[in-house]
Structure 1
Amino acid sequence: MKIVLVDDERHVREAVRLLVDWESLGIDEIYEAADGEEAAALIERERPGIVITDMMMPVRGGLDLLAWLQAHRPEIQKIVISGHDDFHLVRGTMQHGGQDYLLKPIDPEQLSGALRRAADRWREQDHSRKRELARSMEINQLRPVMRDRIFSDLLGGSDPYGNAHHALQELPGAPLASACRVVILSADSAAAEVANRYARNRDLLYFTLINIADDVLLPGGHGLACRNLREDGEVLLFCWAPPGAARTASPPLAELLAKINDGCELTLRSRFDFGIGPVQSFPDGTALSYQAARAALRERDVLAGRTHYYSYDPAVMRVSAPAPRLEAYEESLRLAALSGSDKPIRDAVGRWMADVRRLPRISAEQLQRWQAELAEMLRRWLQSDSGRSGERQDAQATADAHDAAIDTSGLATLDERGRLDLDRLESELIAILKAWSHGRAAAHQPSQSAIPAVVRYIEQHYNRELTLQDIASHFYLSREYISRRFKQETGENLIDFLCRIRIDKAKLLLESPHFKIAQVAEMVGYADEKYFSKVFKKWTGVSPNQYRKG
C-alpha cells in the first residue's frame, strides 16, 4: 500500500515517518509533498491508499486538498494532522470524507491507531471494488452471449417475454423499434485466405465481424449485430426501419452495409456477402424477414459473379429453368466410374454438363444440391458394389474407400469473384469420379495407398500455409481418410509430421546468422513469428533465439 504525507514543515513529515511501524500496517511506499498542489499531482501519479495532510499550507491548503480528493479520489482514506483545534476545520474535514483529525504534537499511539483503521477500511473497500469489478466483467462477458441467444430465438417466430425489447433498452441510443429488416452477413463467404486463417477459431471471426458491424450500426441507433446460434456461418444484422419503408434495400441501408463491408476489407482483408430481408414488424415479423434473407443468399446467381448484396426476388424463381438433376444421369455416370477409364468418365460428365450449360442462371443452393446428390450417389454405388461382388473385403479397406468416395466439396468451389466456372465444375466432377474409382480399386487391393504420395507432398510443400483440408483436397480424399490412414501407416499424426518437418528445417536455417527469426518462420510456413516461436519451443524445449545461441 502507498501513503502520501502532506505538510509544509519537513520536520513534521520526518517525525511521522519515524513514529509509525509501517511494515506492520502493510504500507511499503511513502511519498511526501510540501503543499496541496504538489500533493494533487503526486496522488494522480501514484494512486495511494491513504493521505495524511496538514491544514494550514501555502499554495493550496488542507481543506482544498480534501475537497479535491472527495471529488476525484473518494476511495482514498484521509487523515488530518493539524496544530489548530478549530471547529470549522474539524467540520470541514468530516464534510470532505476525512476519517480522523489529530492534533499536534503528534501522539504515536493515536497516529498508529488512526492509520490502522484507515488501512483496514481501504483494504475492505478495495476488496469490495475488485469483487464488484469482477462481477461487472462477468456480466459484460455474458451480455453478448445473452444478446445472441435472445435475438437468435426471434427467428423461431415469437418473443413471449419481451426479452428483445428489454435487451434493446440496455443499448445506448437504440430506438424503441417497431419494425426492422433482418440482414444476414455470411461468414462462409470470406476469402479463402481468411477462411483458412480462422478455420480453427471461428469464434474469433464471429467476434470480429460483430464488432465491425456494431461500430457502424450502434452509434446512430441504426441496428445491432449478433451471432445466429441456430445456424452456423451467419451473423445477424437487425436494422431498424419505419413500418412503411420500401421492401427493397433503401439507400441508407445500402450505405450502412457498404460501410460494414469496408470495415471488413480494412480489418480482415476480405469482403463478405449479405442477404437482405424485407421490412417486417418487430419482433413478431423477424422470422419472415430472416427467411427471405436466407433465400436471397441461397438463390443468388453464381454464374453472374459476386455483387455482395442480395435481396430475395420471387419473380426470378418463377422464370428460372429447372436444373438437370445429377441423379437423372446416375446410371451412365456409375458405369463410366466403374470402367475406371478416362474417356467414358469424360463423356458421361460431358452429357450432364451440356444440359447445365444451357441454364440461364444457377443458384448457390442448386450448386449445394448437386454436391449433396453426388455424395449420396457415390455412397449408394459403394454399398451396391460391395453387396453384389460377393467378396469378403477387408473391413478397413472398405471403410477407406467409403471415406475417399464421399468428399464432394470441390464440386461447389467458386472463384475469388464468387463466380462458378463451368469448365472447372466439369473437371472437378471428372476428378471426383476418378478418385471414387481408384478408391474402389483400393478396397480390393489394400496394399495400394496414397499415404507415401501424401508424405512426399508435405515434404515438398511444408513451407506453404498447409492444412489437412488442403492436403485432402489435393488428393481428392476426405480429411477423415487422410488423417486415419496417415496415422496407421506412419505411426504419427499428419499435423505432428508437418510440424516436425518444419521444425527440422527451421533448425538448419537458424544455424545461419543471416536470417532473422521472422524470416525463418516465413520460410518454413509460419506467417506469425510469435506462433512459430511457441511451436518451436514446444517441440525443442527452447526458443528459436536460445537454440541459435546454443
Structure 2
Amino acid sequence: MKVLIVDDERHVREAIRYFIPWDEHGISEIYEATNGQEAIEIIEKQRPAVIFTDMKMPLLDGAELLEWLHKHSPNTKTIVISGYQDFSYVKPAIVYGGTDYLLKPLNSKQLIAAAERAFEMWRKEEQERELLNRQNIQLNVLRPLYWDKTLSDLVSGTRSYQELAGSLSEELGLLKGTETCRIAVISLKSANCRLLERFHGDLQLTSFVLANVCNEVISPQRSGFAFRYWLADTDIVVLFWNTVEEAENWVLHMNESIQRAYGIQLDIGLSATNAFPSQLPNAFRQARQGLIGRNILQKQGRIHLYREELDDVNTKADPSLPAELERFRISVLSGEMERMYRAVDDWAEYLTGLTLLTERSIQRWEEEIGIILTRWSKEQWGDELFAKENIHFAPCYDTEGLFTVDAWRDQLKALLLKLSKEGGLTQSTDSKIILEIRNYLDQHYQEDMTLQHIAERFYISRENVSRKFKQVTGENLSDYLTNLRVDKAKVLLQNTNMRLSQISELVGYEDEKYFSRVFKKATGQTPREYRKQ
C-alpha cells in the first residue's frame, strides 16, 4: 500500500507521519502534497491506497479533490482532516465516500483508529478485487473452449439453436430472426504442416491462433464467428450469418491475414447459402465436401466452393485401393523388405499417373489401411500395436497445397515395416507400458506430474517407471518431461504476447521463478532473453 498526505500546513503533515505506526501495516511509501493539484499529479503516477486530505487548500481544495477521486480513483480510501465543522465541508466527505472525518487539532488515538480502518477496508476490498480478477481470468480462458464445444455441437446437429439463441445473440451478435447462413471449414493438412511446425506440432495451439486471426477479420462486423471444431477431420469452422453473400470475400480476407502473419495460405471449403438454423448441419457438410472434394494434384485457388454436381463426378473418379493389397500382406509376413517396398512403389507409380485425386480418396484409403493393418496384426500376433486408433498418416502436401505421392508412399512403407517387426520399439509388455506413459506425458504435460502419480495411474512402481522409461527410450523421464515443457514454452514465447506467469502455468509450472530457472538451465537463456532474441 502507498499513502498520500495532502495538507498545506507542514506541521499537520508531520504529525500524521509521526503518529501512525506505518511499519506495523507494511507501508513504506508515503507521499506529500500541499494542495489538490499536486495531489492529483502524485495520484496519477503512484496510485495510493489511502489519502489523508485537508479541506481548505489553495488552487484545488479538498472538496474538489474528493470529487476528482470519486471519478478517477474510486477504490482509494480517503480520511478527511479539517479545522472546520461547517456542514459544507462535511458533505463532500459523505457524498464522495470518505471513510472518516477528523477535526483539528488531531487526536492521535482517533487518527490511528481512522487509519487502521482505512487500511483494513482497502485490504479487504483488494482481496475481493483479486478474487474477482482471477475468476474473470478463468472465465476468459474457458469462454473460447465453451464456444468451441457449443458451436461444434450446433453445426454437427447434436445441439439445438433454440437453447442457445439468447447467448448467441448477446455474445456473438447472431440475432434472432436470422434466416440464412454459410459455413467455411479450414484444415491444416494442406499446409505441408509449415504452420503446425511453427508451433512445434501443437495442433490445439495452432488452431487457437488461426481461429483468433479469422475472428480479427470477421468478429468486428458481428456477422460471423470462427471456432475450433471438436470432432474429427476439421480444425477450424467459420459460421457466417446476415451478410452471407459476402462470405467468400471474408474468407479471402482471412487467408490474406494468415498469409501476412505466417507466410502461408490454407485451403478452405465454403458451403452454399443454407436456411438458418434448420440447415446448419447441411451447410457444414457442404463446406467439408467442398474441401475434401478438391483435386489435390492441381492448384485451383485456395477457396473451394461446394458444387452439388461435382459430388458424384469426383466420387466415381476416385480410384480404389488395388487388389494387390494382398501383396502387402504377404510381403509383411515374409519379412522381405524389398518385396514389400516393390508392392508399395507399384501403387505409388499408379497414383503418379492420375490427373484427378481428391482428399476424400486419401481419407478413405487411410481408413481402409487402418482396418486392414489392425486385422493383420491381431490375426498374426494377437498384438494391439496396430490398434486402428494408433495408425496415423501425417499430411503429405507441399508448400503449394498439392499432394506429394512420395511422402505418402514413404509413410505406408514405414507402417508396413513396423508391422513386420523390423523397426521401431520392441513389442514387449514393458515397451507397451512405456509407450503409453510417453503418450500420456505428451497430452498432459501442463498438469502437475510426479513419479507417484504416473506409477499409480499405470500400476507400476516408481522405481520401475524411471528405470524402464530409460531402458526403452534412452532418456530419463524427468528430462523428457522438462524438454517437452520447455519446447512448448518456446512456442508460446515466440508466437504470443502472453505474460511469463501465464506461459509458466500453461506448461505445468505454478512458480514463475522456478520455471525461469528450469528454462535457463535447459536453453542457456532466461525466457525473456529467449523471447527478445
TM-score, scaled to structure 1: 0.70
Give yes or no for the alignment of 1:128 onto 2:128: yes
| Structure 1 position 536, deviation (Å) | 12
Check conservation: 1:50, 1:76, Cα contact below 8 A.
yes
Other structure's SS at 2:63 match: helix
Partner residue, 1:227: 228
Deviation at 1:325, TM superposition (A): 2.4
- CA–CA separation in structure 2 for the residues paired with 1:341 and 1:80: 93
Secondary structure at 2:221's aligned position in 1? coil
Q: What aligned pairs does 1:278-427 form with structure 2 within 5 A after superposition?
A: 278-305=272-299, 307-320=301-314, 321-332=316-327, 334=329, 352=347, 356=351, 359-378=354-373, 409=393, 413-422=396-405
The structural deviation recorded for 1:104 is: 1.7
Cα distance in structure 1, aligned partners of 2:515 and 2:105: 66
Q: Deviations over 1:163-183 (max 9, x none)?
A: 432222333755444322121
Counterparts of 1:182-193 in structure 2, within 5 Å, are: 182-193=183-194
For residue 291 of structure 1, give the secondary structure of its aligned residue in structure 2: helix
2:17 — aligned with what?
17
Q: 1:303 and 1:494, CA in 2 relative to 1: closer, same or farther beyond 3 A? A: farther
Return the offset for 1:32.
Answer: 0.2
Q: CA deviation at 1:238?
A: 0.9
Tell me the distance in 1 between the aligned counterparts of 2:121 and 2:238.
Answer: 48
Is the alpha carbon distance of 1:358 and 1:67 closer, same or farther for their aligned partners in structure 2, counting shifts above 3 Å? same
The verdict on how the C-alpha distance between 1:80 and 1:306 changes in structure 2, with shifts beyond 3 A counting, is same
Residues in 2 aligned to 1:160 and 1:399: alpha-carbon distance in whole angstroms: 39
Shift in Å at residue 196 of structure 1?
A: 3.2
Distance 1:359 1:85, change over 3 A: same
Deviation string, structure 1 residues 421-464 (Cα, Å, up to 9, x no partner): 45666676677667766839x99xx9xxxxxxxxxxxxxxxxxx
What's 1:151 paired with?
151
Measured at CA, do residues 317 and 80 of structure 1 come closer, stay the same or move farther in structure 2, by a change above 3 Å? closer
Q: 1:141 to 1:414 in 2, by over 3 A?
A: closer
8 Å Cα contact 2:191-2:397 kept in structure 1: no
**Other-structure match for 2:41:** 41
Q: Distance in 1 between matches of 2:210 and 2:119?
A: 47
In the TM superposition, residue 344 of structure 1 has moved relative to its aligned partner by 6.3
1:140 alignment partner AA: N
Deviations 1:126-146 (A, max 9, x none): 222222222322322222222
Give how far 1:154 is off.
Answer: 0.8
Match of 2:205 in 1: 204
SS at match of 1:129: helix
Contact map agreement 1:305 1:420 (CA 8 A) in 2? no
2:249 equivalent to 1:255: yes
Matches within 5 A, 1:356-505: 356=351, 359-378=354-373, 409=393, 413-422=396-405, 439=422, 491=471, 493-494=473-474
The Cα RMSD (Å) is 4.2
2:237 counterpart SS class: strand
- In the alignment, the residues of structure 1 paired with residue 232 and residue 260 of structure 2 have an alpha-carbon distance, to the nearest angstrom, of 26
Q: Deviations over 1:280-310 (max 9, x none)?
A: 2333321111111112222121111363222
Letter in 1 for 2:321: L
* Equivalent in the alignment of 1:525: none
Q: Return the offset for 1:545.
A: 7.7
Native 8 Å contact 1:157 1:284 kept in 2 = no
For 2:226, what is the secondary structure of its paired residue?
strand
The share of aligned pairs that are identical, in percent, is 29
1:5-45, CA deviations, whole angstroms, 9 ceiling, x for partnerless residues?
11112122112212222334553321100110110011111
The structure-2 alpha-carbon separation of the partners of 1:17 and 1:355, relative to structure 1 and needing over 3 Å to count, comes to closer
Moved more, 291-300 or 34-43: 291-300
CA distance in 2, matches of 1:428, 1:105: 88
Distance 1:112 1:231 in 2: 66
Q: Gaps (5+ residues) in structure 2?
A: 429-441, 443-466, 484-489, 491-503, 508-513, 527-533
Once the two structures are superposed, what CA deviation does each residue of 1:339-397 show, in whole Å capped at 9, x if it has no partner?
A: 777886677557656764664411112022223334444555566667xxxxxxxx9xx
Distance 2:472 2:340 in 1: 36
Residues of 2 paired with 1:536 and 1:105: CA distance? 54
Higher Cα Rg: structure 1 or 2?
Answer: 1
Which residue number in structure 1 is paired with residue 530 of structure 2?
A: none
Question: Does the Cα contact within 8 Å between 1:186 and 1:274 map onto a contact in 2?
Answer: yes
Q: How far is the alpha carbon of 1:241 from its aligned partner?
A: 3.2
Q: Secondary structure at the match of 1:101?
A: strand
The answer on whether the counterparts of 1:186 and 1:233 sit within 8 Å (CA) in structure 2 is yes
Q: Distance in 1 between matches of 2:195 and 2:332?
A: 35
Shift of 1:69: 0.6
Q: Is the 8 A contact 2:182 2:270 kept in 1?
A: yes
Q: Would the alpha carbon gap of residues 351 and 142 (structure 1) be closer, same or farther in structure 2, given more than 3 Å must change?
A: closer
Aligned residue pairs, count: 458
